[in-house]
Chain A
C-alpha cells in the first residue's frame, strides 16, 4: 500500500503499529493524560453529556480535537483500513455540504489551536492548508469538490484522529447519513448508514428502559452552533487494535481467548471513546466525533486510584453491559488480575489522578 502523504514525525509523533506486531504503547506523559472515564467506583449508562469547553491544559479536554503522540501512526492505520475496505467511509449524496462544514471546523480549530503543526490561509474561497506532521500542502477551492483528491469529509478525516459520523436532522430525529469509521468498537457504518438515532442504538441493553436515548435525542435536537457537547463511552479490547469492526471479527474475535494472568496486563486494553457533538453551520447537520484512546491495564494501574477503581467497576458491572461490550467471558480473569492493585482504600471523587 502506498501512502498519499509523507509523514514528518519529528520527536513527538511515534512510529508504532496497531496491527501485526502491535508496537503501540503510551508514553508516561500519555498515561498521565489518559481519559480515564470512571468518576466513581461503579458504572451505569446515563445521559452523561457536558459542554465541550476547553479545560485542564495538557488534558484531552484542552483542544477541540485532541492531537496526541499517536497521530501519525493512527493516520497510517486508517489509510490501510480504507485500502482494504473503502466502504468504511461513506457519504450519501445530500451530505456533501455537511462534509464541507466538518472540513472547515477541523481546519479552523486545528490551525488556531496547533499553529506549530497546521496552518490555514484563506483568500475568499481560495484556501491553503498545510499539515506538517503528515507532510501535506494543499491549495483548493472551498465548496468545490473537484479541487480536492477526496470528498471533503473523507479528505479531512484522513488527517484527523478518531471516527466521525455526520447526522442529518429531519422528521424529529438524527440520521447517520455519512461517516468515516475505521476505529470502531464492533459496529458497522455500512450497516448503520441511513438509520436514525433510535434504530442504530437498538442493540444497546438497559439504556432504552432508562430513557437515556429519548432524553439524549431531545437534548441533541436543541444542540446549538458554537456550543458543542461531549461524553465518554468505553469498552475493552484485546491487543491495541483500533479497527475492531464486525466485518473483520473473524480476524480479531478469537484473540479474546488468548489472555493469561501473565500477558493480561500487556494485552488487555481499556478503550475509551471521547465523543463530541457539534452543530454544523451550513448544513444544520450534527457531527459526532468518536476518538478512541487505548490504555493497557499495566499502564493504567501505574495510577493507584485508577487501579483500585477499575477493579471495582469491572467486578461489579451489570452482566448485560459486560456481555454487550464483549468482555463477559474475560471478566473473571480481568478481575483476578486487577485485584492485586486494589487494597480496598477509598478513592477520591472525579476522574483525575491524585496529586
Chain B
C-alpha cells in the first residue's frame, strides 16, 4: 500500500495475555500525541521479516480517546503467512515500527438504538475499543463472546466485571454456544448487529440474521483492507530507455519519478485515470489496485495504473 501518511512508533510494552495472545503498546517516536480514532479501527503494521516485507492489519483495542498510545492484541497463528509469528517472536519493547493511520471498516452505526456484538476468539479486539467509545458518548450494547476455553478468553474477566449482564461468555470446551436465534429475536427495533471472529462464525451469524429478517444494512462484519504485498520488482520503460526498480515502500509511479521520467498523475490513488500507462510486454502478473480500469480492462492486462498497481513476475515493459 503506497500512499497514505504513516506513523512512526516505538514499541512501549509487550504483555503475554495468555498462551496464544500477546498485547503490544505503541507510542509515537517524538512523544507527540497519536491521532484519535473511532472504535473498530485497525492499523496496518509494517514488518521487515528478514527481508520479507509484511503488512498486517490489527484492530485497535485501546480507548479511542487515548492519544498517548495504541494497543493491539495478536494471536499467534503458526499456520498463517508469518506476520503473527514475527510479532510474537521478534517484536520487543524499544523496537521501532511503522504503522498506518487508523482505518475503520468496522465502524459503529451511531444512529443505532442498541449495538449487539458477537465476538469469536481474537475477534474481541475491535469491540474493546468500541465499548470504550460507547462509554464516552453513551449508547447501549450487549456482547456475546465465545472462546475455545477459559484459558484463552482474553479480556473476558475485565469486561465481565466492568459491564456485568451486558457481557455474556461462552466456552466451546464446556459445550456452550451463543443462543443466537433467541438473542436476535429479543432485540429492540433499531438494533445493529456486529460480528467479528473466524469465517465460520461470520457466515453463521450473517445467515441466521438474514433468516430472521434483519436488514443487511443493520448487520456489520469486519472486512480488513487486504494490504497489498510490496515485493520489489522492476519495469523497463521503453520510451525513455530506462529500467526502474520499484522498492517495497515505493509505488511504480514514485520509482519512475525518482528515475527522472516525466509521468503524469493527479490523485495518486487509482481513481483519476491520469497515470494510465500502456503495457507493452508482461511476463508475469499485474496486480491491479485501481478503480479506474474496468474489470475487463484489468483482466486484459494492456494497461496499468502505476500510482497504485504493482507487478510480480519476470518482465514488465511499459510505454513510458
Contact = CB atoms under 8 A, between A and B. Distances in A.
Contacts, number: 87
Interface string A233-257: 0000000000000000000000000
**A interface residue count range (under 10 / 10 to 19 / 20 to 34 / 35 or more):** 20 to 34
A127 interface: no
Nearest to B34: A281
B272 A97 contact: no
A321 B136 CA distance: 47
A254 B35 CA distance: 49
B104 to A, nearest CB: 4
Nearest to B103: A224
Interface in A41-88: 46-51
Nearest to A49: B267
Nearest to A175: B111
Nearest to A170: B109
Nearest to B109: A170
The CB with the most chain A CB atoms within 10 A, among B3, B110, B266, is that of B110
Interface stretch (A183-191, A213-221, A301-309, A334-342): A213-221
A344 interface: no
Contacts of A284: 38, 41, 104, 107
B269 A46 contact: no
A226 B38 contact: no
Contacts of A282: 36-38, 64-65, 133
Nearest to B4: A224
B89 interface: no
A97 B35 contact: no
Interface residues of B, number: 35
A50 B137 CA distance: 34
Interface string B90-132: 0000000000111110010111000000000000000000000
Contacts of A48: 266, 272
A23 interface: no
B272 A225 contact: no
B213 to A, nearest CB: 18
Nearest to A226: B5
Nearest to B33: A122
B271 A224 contact: no
B5 A281 contact: no
Interface string A273-301: 00000000111100000000000000000
The CB with the most chain B CB atoms within 10 A, among A101, A216, A219, is that of A219
Nearest to B35: A281
B238 interface: no
B272 A218 contact: no
16 contacts: A46-B273, A47-B267, A47-B271, A49-B267, A49-B269, A49-B272, A94-B110, A168-B110, A169-B107, A214-B291, A219-B267, A219-B270, A226-B4, A229-B269, A284-B38, A284-B107
Interface of A: 46-51, 94, 97, 101, 143, 168-171, 214-216, 218-219, 222, 224-227, 229, 281-284
